[in-house]
Structure 1
Amino acid sequence: TGCFAATADRASLPRADAWFICVPTPLDGEGRPDLGPVRAALETCRAGLRPGALVCLVSTCQPGATNGLCRDVLERDGALIGQDVYLAVSPEREDPGRAESPRRVPRLLGAPDAASLARARGVWERLVDRVVPVATPEIAECAKLLENAYRLVNIALMDELHRGFAALGVPTRAVVAAAATKPFGFAPFWPGAGAGGHCIPVDPGYLQMELARAGQPSALVALAAAANAARPRRVVDAVAAEFDGRLAGRRILVMGVTYKPGVADLRVAAPVAILSGLAARGAVAMWHDPLPVEVEGFARVEDPARCPDGPPEAVILGTPQPSFDLAALPRLAPVAFDPFGLLPRDAGRVVVV
C-alpha cells in the first residue's frame, strides 16, 4: 500500500512522531548485558527527534534501563522527559513461528510520568487489542524478565525429569499431557535438547545482574541457567556412553539444528552446541535441516537417507522440524537419541536422553 519504508541510512529517517527501539540485547562474552545496540538506537532517535515525539523501548533490558540509559541519552541536549519528549517501555513478547497475530498479544506499558504513559497508550492502542499499563517502567522491565526466567526454570526442570522418567520406564510426554488436564496450578512444559533463541537463555542474565547488584541473586535461576547450558553436553555424553566413551571417527547425524521447530534461527541453538560437542570428541558431526540455514564447519546432509559414505552410526533428534517423519527417523542409523521423547520405540533402537 506504500505505507511502509525501510532504510539502513539513519540520515534519511524522517523526524517521526513515534520511535520504537527494537534492537537485539544479547549477552557479551562474560555473560553481561550488551546494551550497545540500544545506545546506538537511542542516539539515532535523539538526532531525529521532533518536539513532543514518543520514544518507546521495546527491546528487552534490565530494570532501570528506561529511567537510566534511555532518559540520560534523550535528555542530554536539555530536553525534559514528559514535557519536550515522551518516554515509555513496552517489552517485546515474541513467539517466533506463532500463527496468531501479534495484535492479540497484550502489551505491558510503563512510563516515568503520566504524560508519557498517556501518549504511549494512545499509540499502542492503535496497534494492539489490549494495553496493560503498569505503575513504573521497572515493573514492565521486570515482568518481561520474570516471564522468561519462569520458562527457563521450568524447561530445566522438565529436561531433568525427562531423564528420571526414562529411567523409570515412563514416557515423559504422556506424564506431562496427563498433568496438563489439571485446570489450575500447572502449565505444561516439554523436554528438549536445551532452550535456545534470543530470549530464554539470555533474559534471565539481565535479571541476575540487577539482583546481584541489589545483593539478592537467585540461586534457583542460576542453577536453571547452568542446567540449560549443560543440556547439549549431556546429550553428547549419552552418545559417547553408547560407544563406550569413544567417539573419535564415529559418524553422527543431527536432525534439525534451529533453536525452535519451523523457525530458521540458529541463535543459541542447542543442536549447534551438540555438533560442536561431538566434534570436540573427534566425531564426524553431520547435520540435516529443511530450513534455509547454514552451520559453518560441519557437513550438511541434503538427504538423510543417503548420507555420503553410507549411513551414520547414530542419529540425534536436534529439532523436531514439522516436515520430519519421526516414525522413520530411528531407521536412519543403528541407534537414535531422543531428547524430546517423541520417537517411537518400535521403529529401532531409541535412547531417551
Structure 2
Amino acid sequence: MSGIYIHIPFCKQACHYCDFHFSTSLRYTQEMTDAICKEIVMKKERVKDDLGSIYFGGGTPSLLPEKSFQQIFDTITRHFSIATNAEITIEANPDDLNAAKIAVLRQLPINRFSIGIQSFFEEDLRWMNRAHNAEEAETCIKRSQDAGFENLSIDLIYGYPLLTDSKLLENINKSVSFQTPHISAYAMTVEPRTALASAIKKGKQVPVNDEQAAAQFTLLTEKLAIAGFDQYEISNFSLPGKHAVHNTNYWRGIPYLGIGPSAHGFDGYNRYLNVANNAHYMNFLENGQLAETVEELHICDRFNEYIMTSLRTMWGTDLSKIRVDFGKVFAEETKKNVEIFKQRKWVTEQNEVVTLTPDGKLFADYIASELFLLPEEIAEKI
C-alpha cells in the first residue's frame, strides 16, 4: 500500500543541529494548509491503491491548529481510500503535548506519535536549543499513554560531547521503562549552515567525536536488544510487530507521495522534489501549478537506492530480487562485490540475502557506496 508524507514547515525555534526546512513564523499557517490541500488533490491520480500510511513530518506538525489538521484529513478522505489499519503518524515535540493538545489530537484519525525527546537531561536539551525541558520530556509520554496513544515512538540522539555513556544508559533505561514500542536513535551529525557547525568552526563548541558515536551506537544496540527490541533498521528499534509502517515502506522502495515544501515523493521510477521555500511553494499552488521538479532515475540510480536502503535493514539486500528487478548482471556484480565484506565479517549471506553484522553496521554507508554501480560499469557487461 502507498503512503503520503506531509511536510509541515513550522517550528517554535531552531535546534542548533537541525538543517531541515522550516520557518519560525506561523503567520501563514492557513495559507500553507490551503496549499497543501491543493497539492494533495493535484497528485491524487498518482496513487492507485489504498493508503497504508500517512505521516506528518517537519518542522513541528504538532504546532498546527486543529482546524488545519481537519482540513487536511477532509481533503485526503475525499480523494483517497484509506486502509482500515492505516498507520497515521504525527511528529510532535514534548512541549506541544499538553493535556489540551492531546485531547484535540485524540479527536482526529491520528493513531501514532513520534516524539522528539532527544534526551531526558536538562543540560543536553539546552545545549541542543530544544524548546522543551527534561520534565516535559517525561510527562508528555505518560500523558499521551493515559489519553490512549499507546503506539508511540521516541527519538534519542547520541554521540554529542555532553553525552557520557552513563547518561546514554539512563536515556535508554528511561525510554524502555515507559514501555514505548518504538525508539529511533540517531548519531549527532554536524550539518553545514547550522548553529552547531558555526560554533564548532569558531572554536566555541567541541567537535563531534566519531569514536564516541561508534562506541555509543554499540552500547545502544546491545542494551536495546537485551530489552527485547529488534534493530530492524540501523537507527530504528521496535518491539516485535511494532515496526514503523511508513518508514519501512521507504526502505523497501514502496511508492509514496511527498506533500509540502521540501518534501520528496517516489513513484517507483522517478523522484519528485518540492521547492524548499514556503513563499514559492504557496505561490505555485495558488496559481494551480505543482512546486516540484522531477528527477528521472536511471536503472543504476534505482539499484543504488535499493542497496543503500535495504542494506540498512534486518531484512537485508536480496540478490534474487535484484536479479528480477534489475537483471542478472546487477545480481552477479553485487555477489562479487560483497565478497570482500564477507571476508572482513562485516556482512553475511544466507539464501541469497546479504545482511550486515554488528561490526558491519558501523560501516553501513561505506559498504553501500562500495556496492553501488555506475552506468558505464554496467554498459561494459551487458
Query: With structure 1 as the length reference, what TM-score do the two structures score?
Result: 0.29
Q: Which has the higher contact order (CA 8 A, sep 6+)?
A: 2
Q: TM-score, normalised by structure 2?
A: 0.27
